[in-house]
Chain A
Amino acid sequence: MNLEHVARIADLNARYADAIDADRLEAWPDFFLDDGRYRITTAENVAQGLPLSLIYAASRAMLRDRVRALREANVYEAQSYRHVLGAPLIANVETGGLRARTSFMVARVMRTGETMLFATGYYDDRVVLDAADGARFAEKTVILDSRQIDTLLAIPL
């Protein structure tokens, strides 16, 4: 185990989750490479080898479009998340990067104060450590443990 790898992945995901939880969504796409991919799917789809996603972006521009839609177009009740992340499990050291898995739990807090355990699962990340301005996600797949989503999934996980 390379502790520096673990630390760098943990740091990247910690900053990533903090940007979402603190409603700095405009910073969210910048955690990805220009041609980075982001998907949310379910363990059930993965187990069956089915490709469907709840969110599927094949570039940073598509992520920026989603943020713009959330800010300007989509209608949803005020809410925020609190991510709690597990320790990264480095699955593979690849040329120029790492493949790592990180567990997460996300609580959702509604404007009414109602708080619920909204999502659990893991990130399956491919990270490039030495991109122009530091570590970036080449690919981030969010795999939800459950097939059920309560009401809507507006803010990314």
Chain B
Amino acid sequence: MNIHTAMRQWPAEGLTRVPYWVYSDRALYDEEQERIFRGDTWTFLCMEAELPAPGSFRASNLGDMPVVVTRDANGGVHAFENRCAHRGSLLCLKERGEAREIVCVYHNWTYDLTGRLTGVAFRRGIAGKGGMPSDCKPEEHAPRQLRIALFAGLVFGTLGRNTPPLEQYLGADHVARIRRVMRAPARVIGGYSQIIPSNWKLYIENVKDSYHASLLHMFFTTFRLNRLSQKGGLVVSERGGNHISYSMTQDVAGKEYEQAGLRSANEAYALEAPDMLLKSVDEFGDGIGLQILTVFPGFVLQQIRNCLAVRRVVPRGLNKTELAWTCFGFTTDDETLAELRLRQANLIGPAGFISMEDGAAAGFVQRGVAGAPDALSLVEMGGSGTASEESRVSEAAVRGFWKDYRRHMGL
């Protein structure tokens, strides 16, 4: 525990209370970067499909730290800090692309695709004058290399020396539930970013909060498109930081929507063209219509019917979070399924019928607690534990997040 966290005291009630200073303390934010994002955790960096060929690169983040993910000539995937050994400039100035080597624009220092420094411009000077002393070893200042793990088409990276192997970190439930979604080679269909006006933890709590889903997001209930009794469950990992929330679709052919449309046709609230939006197929063959999965600290894998996406939660300051969405299908998709994914994408993202509220809700909390750093939020739905359960009217996954967070932070 360092000096700052030692000054902070978590409430005696434990996981059922969250002090609001966790969202507004600048020193705590910096410490999270070190202990969590650059510590013993796995951060999702990109999909393997975003690195299609030797020489492909993709900019990403390990918390605040910019990183470059690359595929080398032999197909190996690497990630390293996007920071030149020389003066610290960004090395890679594009979001994505292809390159044979990475060249810093500032003074032309060059790196191979594994992040190894391979060239220093004018290292020996010109005509015997200038240059770098022969005992200077710029290679020792090279950008930090991340340890990489590939799983089911997803690229994760860590700087931590003691981060457990990825599959162990994910846990057996998550391994199975990620494999379930990533059933074939992925094909990216597009992306965008949503800027959330809040601390990163407020967005992550929102994703893990299965209690809010049918209360904040009124789209399905208003148009009588869901059944509140839909079977499902909540899975929280042993350390708490990873969760899965899922629910079954009663009629996998999507007929419930047609019936719902008919049933409500004479009522005030009915959609004219629900089928155009919500028609879906049970591509996973298990009747699960919705599965939201998170991995500590900031990875979300989403399956809402046929609408599949990964989301990266990237802190961009104390009160600002970038939510980077990448939507995907599979290389095996036929035209019909590809079109269903595009239509159902109306449900998600900043304009999504069932997700537009999330970014705003996190911002409402950030603004609401501005004058109350020492007040506490109540997290008691479903009791005080973090065990998996059938009911989603529970905040068990939120408590699980804080359990893991406190362990990493020594709080």
By a beta-carbon cutoff of 8 Å, the part of chain A in contact with chain B is 40-42, 44-45, 48, 50-59, 61-62, 64-66, 68-69, 72-77, 147-154
Residues of B within 8 A of A51 (CB): 189-190, 338, 342
6 extra interface residue pairs, beta carbon distance < 8 Å, beyond A69-B219, A76-B356, A151-B350:
A44-B191, A52-B191, A62-B273, A69-B271, A76-B360, A151-B359
Residues of A within 8 A of B189 (CB): 50-52
Query: CB within 8 A of B350: which of A54, A62, A64, A66?
Result: A54
The reply to whether B193 and A147 form a contact with Cβ atoms under 8 Å apart is yes
Min C-beta distance of A46 to chain B, whole Å: 9
The reply to whether A62 and B276 form a contact with Cβ atoms under 8 Å apart is yes
The reply to whether B190 and A45 form a contact with Cβ atoms under 8 Å apart is yes
Contact with A along B169-196 (1 / 0, CB 8 A): 0000000000000000000111111111
Min C-beta distance of A54 to chain B, whole Å: 5
The reply to whether B219 and A53 form a contact with Cβ atoms under 8 Å apart is no
The reply to whether A153 and B351 form a contact with Cβ atoms under 8 Å apart is yes
The reply to whether B196 and A74 form a contact with Cβ atoms under 8 Å apart is no
Residues of A within 8 A of B216 (CB): 75
Q: How far is the CA of A151 from the CA of B206 in the complex (A)?
A: 14
Interface centre among B197, B274, B342, B346 (most CB of A within 10 A): B346
Interface centre among B194, B221, B327, B356 (most CB of A within 10 A): B356
Min C-beta distance of A137 to chain B, whole Å: 18
Residues of B within 8 A of A64 (CB): 272
Query: CB within 8 A of B190: which of A52, A61, A66, A74?
Result: A52
Interface class of chain B by DSSP: mixed
Residues of B within 8 A of A42 (CB): 190, 192
Contact with A along B249-283 (1 / 0, CB 8 A): 00000000000000000000101111011000000
Asked whether any CB of chain A lies closer than 8 Å to the CB of B345, the reply is yes
The reply to whether B192 and A74 form a contact with Cβ atoms under 8 Å apart is no
Minimal Cβ-Cβ distance residue in B for A50: B190
Asked whether any CB of chain A lies closer than 8 Å to the CB of B66, the reply is no
Give the contact-size bracket for chain B.
Answer: 35 or more
A-B contact count (CB 8 A): 128
The reply to whether B271 and A65 form a contact with Cβ atoms under 8 Å apart is yes
Minimal Cβ-Cβ distance residue in B for A144: B192
Query: CB within 8 A of B346: which of A55, A75, A77, A147?
Result: A55
The reply to whether B194 and A75 form a contact with Cβ atoms under 8 Å apart is no
Residues of A within 8 A of B287 (CB): none
The reply to whether A53 and B194 form a contact with Cβ atoms under 8 Å apart is no
Min C-beta distance of B360 to chain A, whole Å: 5
Residues of A within 8 A of B221 (CB): 73
By a beta-carbon cutoff of 8 Å, the part of chain B in contact with chain A is 95, 188-197, 216-219, 221-223, 269, 271-274, 276-277, 322, 327, 338, 342-343, 345-346, 349-351, 353, 356-357, 359-360, 363
Interface centre among A48, A52, A61 (most CB of B within 10 A): A52
The reply to whether B218 and A75 form a contact with Cβ atoms under 8 Å apart is yes
Q: How far is the CA of A59 from the CA of B343 in the complex (A)?
A: 12
Residues of A within 8 A of B194 (CB): 148-149, 151-152
The reply to whether A76 and B357 form a contact with Cβ atoms under 8 Å apart is yes
Minimal Cβ-Cβ distance residue in A for B96: A48
Residues of B within 8 A of A53 (CB): 190, 342, 345-346
Residues of B within 8 A of A65 (CB): 271-274, 277
Given contacts A54-B351, A152-B359, contact A74 B276 (CB under 8 A): no
The reply to whether B357 and A75 form a contact with Cβ atoms under 8 Å apart is yes
Residues of A within 8 A of B274 (CB): 65
Given contacts A53-B342, A73-B222, A152-B351, contact A147 B188 (CB under 8 A): no
Residues of A within 8 A of B360 (CB): 75-77, 151-152
Minimal Cβ-Cβ distance residue in A for B338: A51
The reply to whether A152 and B356 form a contact with Cβ atoms under 8 Å apart is yes
Min C-beta distance of A9 to chain B, whole Å: 25
Q: How far is the CA of A66 from the CA of B194 in the complex (A)?
A: 20
The reply to whether A61 and B273 form a contact with Cβ atoms under 8 Å apart is yes
Given contacts A52-B189, A55-B346, A152-B194, contact A73 B219 (CB under 8 A): yes
